[in-house]
Structures are given as C-alpha cells and as structure tokens.
Amino acid sequence: MKAIEFSYKDSCLVPESELKKIGEQLKPAIKKIQQALMQGYDSPYASLNLSTDARMFDIVRAVIAQKKSLKPTMLIVIGIGGSNLGTMAVHEAVHGKFYNESNPEITGSPFSQNGAKIKVYWADTVDADYINAIAMLMDAELHKGNNILLNVVSKSGTTTETIANFIILLNILKKHRPDDYGRYVVATTDKDSALWQLAQQEHFVFLEIPKNVGGRYSVFSCVGLFPLGMLGVDIQDLREGARSAMPEYTDANIFDNPAALSAAILATYAHAGKNIHDTFLFSNQLESLGKWYRQLMGESIGKSDRQGSRIGITPTVSIGSTDLHSVGQLYLGGPKDKCTTFVTIKSCAIDMNISYMQDYDQLAENIQDKQLTTIMHAIIKGVQKAYQHESLPYMTFEFPESSVFYVGQFLQCKMLEIMYLGYLLEVNPFDQPNVELYKQETREILKI
C-alpha cells in the first residue's frame, strides 16, 4: 500500500543545512528508539511495541467476540483524555460524525454487521446535562430490552471524572440487570489498580494497560482496540498501518524520516519563539484526530526542561475549509508566531458533483459541473499559496484516502514526532507532573 505523503520543501522555510544539523542531533534519540523496539514494554518507549503484541491482540479479540455474543445495541466508553481521545479519533476518521444516525440496512453501509450496529457514546466529562442525556438514552435502551456495554477506562483506576460517571451509569445498568450486570462491563486499567481490584470483585472482564504505556500513547492497546473492534473498525488494519510506518519513521536519515523532520521543523520554530502549532485538517471527520494530537503535544511538551525553564508549544486545531471563515484572517494577517501542519486527503470514498444550473454562475463562478473534492483541493492549494505569499511556514501530510490503515500510520508518526521533539526540547515526553496539581486540589475540595 501507499504511504502518507509528507511535504515540507519550499514551505517550512527552514534551510536544509539547518535540518541536516538537527538530524545529527537526533541520531542518539533515533538509536534509542530503535533499541526500545527490542525491549518490549521495559522502556519509556513501550507504546511503540503495541502494534506487534500478538498476545494482547488475541486477548482483545476474544473479549470482543464474547461481548458481541451479547448482541449489544449501545456501547458507552467512560474515560477522559488518553482514555478515549484516540478511540474517538479513529472511530470518527473511519465512520464519520453521523455514525449513530446512519442506517446500517442501507446497501453498502460500512456500519453494517449482519444488519446490526452498536451505537456509541462518550462519557468524558462531569457536565451534568451531558451525562444526564447519556443516562436517559441508556435507560431507554435497557427499557426496550436491549443490551448495552459499559467500557470504563482509567489507567490509574482512580480518575475522578471517570469513576463518578461510572458509578452513575453502573447504577442504571444494575436497575435493569440486577442479577448479571457484571457481564455488561469491561474495565480497562493498569494491573493491580483500584479499578482492577474492583473488577475482580465484581466479576467484570478486565483488560490490562501495560505499565509503561501512558494514556496519550495507548490507542493501539486495549484502550483503543476493544471499543474500536466492537464498533466494527478493522483493528488488524489499524495495527498494520502503525507497523508499516515504523521503518520509515525510525530511519536514521532525517530526510527519509517524516516524524523526525516534522519534529525538527517544530523545534526550530519553538526555539525562535514561534511556539504555536496549528494542525489544519481539511476533512471534517478528522477533527477528533486533531484533538487527540492536541493532547499528545500539550501534555508531552508543555513543562520544565532540564534547566528548569518552562517551555511548550501551544497546539491548536483548525478544520478546513470551515475555519478559513473564522480564523483565516488571523492566520494570514495576524502575528507570525505559528507553524502550521496541513492534513489533507487525496481522494474521498464518495464524491458529489455540482450539476449545471443556468443563471447560477452569477452566485459563484466556475464551480458548476465540478466535484466537491475538486473545489476542496482548489481551496487547499489557494491557502498554501497564500501562506507562501505571506512567508508563513507550513508542512503537509496527505492521506491517499481516509482509511483505517492510513489513520494508523498517522497516529504512529505523530507519537514518534513528539518523542523526537521532547528530545530536541530537552523535556520528558512521557510524564505530566503538573496535571496532578488540579487533581490534588480537586480531591481536597471534595473533602469539605
């Protein structure tokens, strides 16, 4: 299969000589990552081994088969941050945003599984109105006599928001299934966590997150594979995409390594004080992919470096062409404090033609008898030319198509990019010490 195409020449505005110099700096990091691929889960780079873990994959597939046999009509993923953002990103990239509203009985529907489809909801906030809406949908589904699944995901097993939502939704499940509610719960957590122990006590199925795999790097673990498999995503293809990317994205030659190249470009601008990175995705269904990357960068890079200086790159997410009409003026005419990564798709699964209608050329010229993809590509090229005109740095990742294979490639590329970027900025890309501050304060307040 083809690979995602990365382009940066004549657009990133960083001299090749500078990139070559950074490539030399990165060689120890690349070597360390190459070595980590032979160490299994016994290194901070543990997540890079997830796509080749056959034992874990077999366990996940067995649980998927077991839970599908219950014929559930609804899945509620209870998790926050790294516990659900990757799953949402893959699901929406493959199935789109109207998955729950689509009709699986339509011929050729990608959501059909022998005429059945599992709806999905994400309990990722303690916003009472939002959780109440999910609770009402869940209660109504159970009242009809249908089965639902709860997948509670927390690496620590003690995440305040996740456990609060789990208790609320579990009590609804208990009301309708008082004798066997445990059959409809899957707990995904670290081995021996408090949630793990509860799962054993309650006879829930539990799936283990490897200790050294952080939440934001966990999409290829059971965190993402179980719910995605339940929703009909080809998780084998997702893993194949990630695996296929590894030789290129761990190449010692920076000019043959898009993950290292993009990290080098971002580091160059961060050191120059341009510490905003906008991921501009020209596909509505890739929006959650942008949000996943926003957490990956924000939580991995925003912290103190080895000298104790607070550094970071602020990640923003834009959707094309929508946000050209909201922040396009700022990007093109505002301060030059950003580096942009465009993410585009070469061909859509289905295109739409604009039929010719007499007298409508006066509304918008030169669009009739063209396809929407043609117009989108013209807009993308127009935006890139405008960026060049204003000397605004950018790079581009182009998917051949929006398939699960290429989504897997992109996820793996970006995880490696952040690991390289952490090395260049002298920060640990695997911890998040300051996030614990709000958690500690919240727990103290709740004691009152």
The pLDDT assigned to 440 comes to 85
Nearest Cα residue to 162 out of 208, 125, 203: 125
Average pLDDT over residues 12-22: 97
pLDDT of the residue at 369: 74
Residue type (1 letter), 153: V
Interval 267-286: pLDDT, tens = 999 999 999 999 999 999 99
Supply φ then ψ for residue 442, to 5 degrees.
Answer: -60, -45
If you search the block for the tokens 């200086």, which residue do you land on? Answer: 309
Percent of the chain residues topping a pLDDT of 70: 97
Residues of the chain by 3-state class (helix, strand, coil), percent to 5: 50, 15, 30
What is the SS3 assignment for 195? helix
Q: Distance between CA atoms of 1 and 98, rounded to whole angstroms?
A: 28
The answer to whether domain 5-36+238-425 has CATH 3.40.50.10490 is yes
Confidence of residue 359 (pLDDT cuts 50, 70, 90): confident
Say what the pLDDT of residue 112 is. Answer: 42
What is the radius of gyration, based on Cα positions, of the chain?
23
Predicted pLDDT at 447: 86
Q: Poorest-confidence range of 143-147, 294-298, 432-436?
A: 432-436
Spans of all domains in the chain:
5-36+238-425, 46-233
The answer to whether the CB of 211 falls within 8 A of the CB of 379 is no
Q: Is residue 367 over pLDDT 80?
A: no
Residue 143 — very low, low, confident or very high, per pLDDT cuts 50/70/90? very high
Residue 55's CB is within 10 A of a number of other CB atoms, namely: 7
- Pairwise CA distance, residues 306 & 310, whole Å: 10
The topology under which CATH files domain 46-233 is: Rossmann fold (3.40.50)
pLDDT reported for residue 410: 98
pLDDT of residue 105: 57
Model confidence pLDDT, tens digit, residues 155-185: 999 999 999 999 999 999 999 999 999 999 9
Which tokens is 196 given?
């793990």
Looking at per-residue pLDDT, the higher value among 135 and 113 belongs to: 135
Mean pLDDT of 12-19: 97
Sorted by sequence, the CB contacts under 8 Å of residue 185 that are 6+ apart come out as 149, 150, 151, 152, 170, 173, 199, 202, 204, 205
**CA dihedral sign of residues 294, 295, 296, 297:** positive
Q: Is residue 436's pLDDT more than 90?
A: no
